């Protein structure tokens, strides 16, 4: 039980940091079950399509900046190629940087938002596990205390 309390405390600290940080979130969502298992390019094509549509729909936003920095840890080579090639093809003010130890807070926040997005999808399908419900103290608490934060930081949120 102490383990859950420590994880809960870490989660709360990440959320406080995320709320105060001047960041917006966009998540690419692809259901792997909908991709052709025989075709290695099916998943990649869907990722490229969503990412390029996002960039194209927000050109004006991206060109407000002298530089748009893309941070990635390089963990998944294919994903790194997709991110690099898509942004490089669509924007000229791109700088790519590998995550350094002092960037880990932002990486943890990015992981948090990806996890919350996955939980949002599972909640919508009524597919949350019993351990997820236990950790977040129920569906209502998850929606009220965590998923609402995701909405506040969502890139498409009306400002």
pLDDT at residue 66, as a whole number: 93
- Give yes or no for residue 55 having a pLDDT over 80: yes
> Is-contact 24 153, C-beta < 8 A?
yes
| Over residues 44-53, mean pLDDT | 91
φ, ψ of residue 95 to 5 degrees: the values are: -130, 130
Tokens 């530089």 correspond to 67
Which pLDDT score is estimated for 89?
Answer: 94
Q: Which of 95, 141, 93 lies closest to 119, judged by CA?
A: 141
**Collapsed DSSP state (helix, strand, coil) of residue 83:** helix
Q: What is the token pair recorded at 58?
A: 């927000």
- pLDDT band with cut points at 50, 70 and 90 for residue 88: very high
* Residue 64, beta-bridge partner list: none
Of these ranges, 28-32, 82-86, 147-151, 153-157, the one predicted with the greatest mean pLDDT is 82-86
* pLDDT over 70 percentage in the chain: 87
Q: pLDDT band at 9, cuts 50/70/90?
A: confident
The DSSP element (H or E) to which 71 belongs, if any, is: strand 68-72
Give residue for tokens 């969503």: 50
Predicted TM-score (pTM) of this structure: 0.74
Looking at every residue in the chain, the average pLDDT score rounds to: 82
Q: At what angle do helices 77-90 and 40-57 cross, to 10 degrees?
A: 40
Give the residue from 68, 49, 65 showing the smallest Cα distance to 57. Answer: 49
User: How many Cβ atoms are within 10 Å of 45's Cβ, its own excluded?
Assistant: 15
- For range 1-11, the mean pLDDT: 60
pLDDT above 50: residue 102: yes
Residues 18, 113: contact at Cβ < 8 Å?
yes
Provide the residue ranges of all domains of the chain, joining segments of one domain with +.
Answer: 38-98, 103-154
- Asked if pLDDT for residue 56 goes beyond 90, the answer is yes
Report residue 51 as tokens.
């990412």
pLDDT digits 0-9 by tens, 119-150:
999 999 999 999 999 888 899 999 988 888 87
């Amino acid at each position: 039980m102490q383990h859950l309390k420590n994880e809960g405390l870490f989660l709360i600290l990440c959320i406080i940091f995320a709320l105060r940080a001047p960041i917006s979130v966009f998540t690419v969502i692809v259901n792997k079950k909908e991709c052709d298992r025989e075709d290695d390019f099916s998943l990649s094509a869907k990722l490229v399509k969503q990412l390029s549509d996002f960039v194209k729909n927000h050109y004006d936003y991206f060109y407000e900046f002298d530089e748009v920095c893309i941070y990635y840890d390089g963990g998944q080579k294919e994903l790194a190629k997709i991110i690099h090639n898509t942004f490089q093809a669509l924007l000229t003010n791109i700088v790519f940087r590998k995550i350094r130890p002092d960037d880990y807070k932002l990486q943890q926040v990015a992981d948090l938002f990806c996890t919350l997005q996955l939980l949002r999808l599972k909640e919508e399908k009524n597919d949350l596990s019993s351990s997820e419900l236990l950790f977040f103290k129920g569906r209502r608490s998850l929606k009220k205390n965590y998923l609402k934060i995701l909405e506040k930081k969502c890139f498409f949120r009306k400002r």
